[in-house]
Amino acid sequence: MATPGLLLVDKPEGITSHDVVSRVRKIVGTRKVGHAGTLDPMATGLLVLGIESGTKLLTFIVGKDKTYEATIRLGSSTVTDDREGDVLTTATPDQISEITQEAILAGISKLSGVIQQKPSAVSAIKVDGERAYARVRAGEEVDLPSREVTVSRFEVLGVIRFTNEYIELDVVVDCSSGTYIRALARDLGNDLGVGGHLTALRRTRIGEFDLETAYDFSDGSPVNIIELAEAAETSLPHIEISTQDEIDLRFGKRIAGTVAEPTAVLCSGELVAVVESAGTSSLKSLVVFSKGESNV
């Protein structure tokens, strides 16, 4: 059996997140592999995969804040808000020449902090049980409602590049889960009156995990699965419990205590469960791990 835990993968461009899962299933020798947070085929960067019972941790990781590096091109808009979609509008050279660096930075400022964002129509959000992107590809018009997201950092990296046809800028974005970087590019272009879309996107962080130790399919290095106890301690608040509490949790009982958010509980260094508060003085399990899994 494959080692239960988490695997960080640096997804290459041109394949889907499901393609990554399929490759990893073959590499580690199990079908029980899942991922937290889909990346489009055009995008590269960090995918967090759960292996065996490590998949139980993914629900606590998918909602964490993320960091992206992206290239935004101002001067045209597309159906998909990225370079893979058909062009909808193109600005004239005169319109491009009127855009200043100060105006771009002011537009970025408007898209920082707590904002209302309309997701891209080709997102993975479900509409009546079907993904929005599937409806768009079938020729339907999809208008998704705006929702609140937090963009805690939206900064330009290096020099903004101006040409007669477009303006291009490399940016870094720290944001809450559910933020669409394509939508930031679209909205910045709309604010400036010239349209905008993404030409490159790379995710560099999900919560406490980054690309530093991520597996790269191209370099032939061995996979490095983060075992359950370490994965839980890295990604969640954690507490140590007694042997009796361990027994009680494994038999579905509640134990005494209180936590502010889902918390990993360990006994003698082994991951037992993830718990939440139940009432004012007890904890109940959200997921329980079989004895010995952390030490495979």
pLDDT digits (tens, 9 = 90+) for 65-116: 999 999 999 999 998 899 998 899 999 999 999 999 999 999 999 999 999 9
| Percent of the chain at pLDDT exceeding 70 | 92
Does residue 139 surpass a pLDDT of 70? no
Break the chain down into helix, strand, coil percent, rounded to 5.
25, 40, 35
**CA gap 9, 72 in Å, rounded:** 25
pLDDT at 134: 63
Which residues, at least 6 apart from 163, have a Cβ–Cβ distance to it below 8 Å? 96
DSSP 160-184: EEE-SS-EEEEEEEEE-TT--HHHH
How far is CA 196 from each of CA 41, 117, 182, 200, 252, rounded to the nearest angstrom? 19, 15, 9, 13, 53
pLDDT digits (tens, 9 = 90+) for 248-296: 999 999 999 999 999 999 999 999 999 999 988 999 999 999 987 655 4
pLDDT at 296: 45
Q: Choose the CATH number for 236-295 among 3.10.129.10, 3.40.720.10, 2.30.130.10, 3.30.420.590.
A: 2.30.130.10
In eight-state DSSP terms, residue 239 is: E
Homologous superfamily (CATH) of 70-199 is Pseudouridine synthase (3.30.2350.10)
In this prediction, residue 219 has a pLDDT band, given cuts at 50, 70 and 90, of confident
What's the mean pLDDT in 169-186? 96
Which residue has better confidence, 140 or 63? 63
Could you tell me the residue ranges of all domains in the chain? 5-64+207-227, 70-199, 236-295
pTM here is 0.93
In eight-state DSSP terms, residue 291 is: T
Q: Which CATH class is domain 5-64+207-227?
A: alpha beta
CATH fold match for the domains 70-199 and 236-295: no
Which helix (H) or strand (E) segment holds residue 33: the answer is strand 33-36
Catalytically active residues are 40
Does residue 126 surpass a pLDDT of 70? no
